Each structure stands twice: as C-alpha cells, then as structure tokens.
Amino acid sequence: METIQKIKKLLLCQMPGSACNLRCEYCYITNQNMWNSEIRKLDHSPLEIAEALSVKRMGGICLINFCGEGETLLSEEALELVYEWAKDGHYIEIVTNGTLKKRFETISKYPMEILSHIAFKFSFHYAELKRLNLLEVFFDNIYLMHEAGCSFTIEMTPYDGIDDCKEEILAVCEEKIGAPCHLTIVRDDTQMGIPVMSDKSLEDYYNFWSDFGSSMFDFKKSIYGIKRKEFCYAGLLSLNINLANGNYSKCYGCAPVGNIFEDMSKPIDSSAIGKCAVAHCYNGHAHLALGLIPNLSTPTYSKICNIRLKDGTDSLSEEFKQIYSQKVSDNNQLLTVKEEKAIYRRAAFEEMRVKGKANLKRLVKKVLGL
C-alpha cells in the first residue's frame, strides 16, 4: 500500500505583478486601480526560490497555494516554479483564470510524477469569459488538465452584477461539467471589517446563491464575519510569502518577520501568531479546514473543494483527496498551554506598544498644531 505523504506546512506564495488579461468589476485590483500591464520578473530565479523552500529546509512536504495579484500564469517563470516545487515533492494548487491555452498545453506535457502534484483552483469569472468569448477555452483547458492527471476545483465569486445570470450560469455548469461550480464570497478588502461586497446582507446574499449547493460556500458563510479567538498556528504551520523579494509574514494583516533567502542553510524561523490579526478568517475554508486552529471542527478541505463530474469522476485525484483531507496540526508537534500563553502575552505587549506609539504621535501633532 502506498504511503500517504504528510503535509508539514501550508505556504501561501504570491507571484508579483498585477498584469491580467481580464477586467472583472469586483476584483480588488480593479477597485483599487492597481492595474499594470507589465509582467514583472522575479528578483530570484525559480531554482533559487525552490531551493529556499525545499522539502529539506521546510522539514517536510508542503501544500503550496500559488497565486498572482493578477493572472498567476502570465509569467513563464510561474511554470518553472511549479515544476521545481513538484519535482522536490511539494503539492501545488495554482489559482488561475483558466484562459491561457498555451500554458496549459505546456503543463499537459509534464511527466505524471509532476502532474499528480498539481491542482488548479480555476476562478470562474463568468461575465468576463462571456464578454471575451472565452467560455469554451476555459472549459477546454479544465478538461485538458483533468485528462492529463491534474486535480482541480472551479470557484466563482458571485457579486450583485451577475444576479440576473444565476440560472444561466447554473445551466452552463450543468452542460460543461455536470454539476454547479463552487462559490466563494465577494468581500470588500478596503474596509477594516472586511464585509461582504454586496447591497444584500450576508444572509440574503447567501440565500440568493445557495441554489449552487456549494460546500465551499456553505462553510465560508458559516465562519464569515466571526472573529477567531482560538489560538492560531499561522506562522508556525503556515507562511505568507512574497516571491518578489522573499519576505514572509505569519498571515494576512501581518508585517514581514523574515526573508526566505536569508541564511538558507538553516530552517525558516517563524512562530505561531496566536491571536488573529484581521477581522475574521476570510480564507478559513482553507486555513481552518487544513488545521491552523487544531481543535476547531471543520469539514475536510477535500470535501470543500471536490466536484463530482458528469462522467462520474471526481475533480480531485485520490492522491489530492488524501492531501486535502489532512490537518497540518496533526502532522506537527504542537505547543504546550504554557507556550501558547507566552505567545499571547508577547502579542498583547506588542499591540500596546504599537498603539502607544500611535497615540504619542497623534498627541505630538496636536500639541504642535500640525
């Protein structure tokens, strides 16, 4: 019987640059006017990055979420990175809009030992795909990857602008894959509370789109807007990595705590965040399902992502089902209660220090009349 690989960490790796071939009206890049058509080169080669995040250095095989600010696969370096990571033994999920046919044709020629370590999170930007006449291309690329041996899921971000298209989208999904796609939640990242970006309340928004029967949507709704107060292992069992410069942070909303290219002879140093730094765990369908809060009861990431296709096969391979069914907290030595409390105390002290510094700055400005 084949040994199941244990995932030691979750790595969220961001490809630099906001270049994209789509212009979705709900996208944070659109809303913040961050578009740049230049495909940015990495400061370090894919080989150097792969070495910095090697299985040996990370202490085991990792699940790497690979995402660009714009379209992830526009850069040829993206394919080199994926290949090197997979060759080393990591498992990679690539976030992509699924439109770049030549990129998928290149990937389809990889050996099976590489393909079996790749999953795609196909972002279903329905309105843009329809406007640009790319719907057929999108689904053709999905089936090309499925037949090649990769795993995948399909995720759509429902927003108010496509309310009238709901039945049409369901019909397209039924025709092409035999099931509805998964849904995520459109959010407003410009506000501290990270609310749903809709004229509807969260409850009405959820009820309107619940026809899709998406397990991902169901779980995201159940945790959306809830401040996590449990001890979180992000930072110790996961890292957010900026591939442009190598800086890494513990999670969203956190300042960099190191650089992956520093002292590469030693393991990457990072401790657990403990206290969540943002309003709510808006990507908890992955982080929480994969065990960053160990005692929290969740469905597996496999159940959240899988789609049963019209030919009776699943969108996830058996290998990826095993990977996605794990919790990284089960595969690592956890902290003692005493160690967790020490991290909470340090976090509280740092929070007071930062607030005190900000208050002093405001007071000085007031006194000086600035």
Listed by start position, the domains of the chain span: 7-331, 336-370
pLDDT tens by residue, 90-126 = 999 999 999 999 999 999 999 999 999 999 999 999 9
Is residue 46 within 8 Å of residue 80, measured between CB atoms? yes
pLDDT tens by residue, 180-191 = 999 999 999 889
Residue 81 to residue 69: CA distance in whole angstroms: 16
Q: For the chain, what is the total number of helices (H) and then of strands (E)? A: 15, 9
Beta bridge partners of 156: 183
Please provide the DSSP assignment of 231-251 as one string.
-B-BTTTEEEEETTT-EEESS
Beta bridge partners of 119: 93, 151
pLDDT tens by residue, 124-174 = 999 999 999 999 999 999 999 999 999 999 999 999 999 999 999 999 999
Q: How confident is the model at residue 26 (pLDDT cuts 50, 70, 90)?
A: confident
Residue 98 to residue 86: CA distance in whole angstroms: 20
Residue 171 to residue 223: CA distance in whole angstroms: 29
Give kind and range of the element (H or E) at residue 65. Answer: strand 61-68
How many residues are there in the chain? Answer: 370
Q: How confident is the model at residue 40 (pLDDT cuts 50, 70, 90)?
A: confident
Question: Could you tell me the two tokens for 200?
Answer: 């509807």
Residue 66 to residue 126: CA distance in whole angstroms: 22
pLDDT tens by residue, 298-352 = 999 999 999 999 999 999 999 999 999 999 999 999 999 999 999 988 877 766 6
pLDDT of residue 25: 77
The pLDDT of residue 1 is above 50: no
CA distances from 2 to 5, 318, 322 (A): 9, 12, 11
3-state secondary structure of 274: strand
Fold for domain 7-331?
TIM Barrel (3.20.20)
Within 10 angstroms of residue 346's Cβ, the number of other Cβ atoms is: 13
E-state strands within 71-197: 91-96, 118-123, 151-156, 182-183
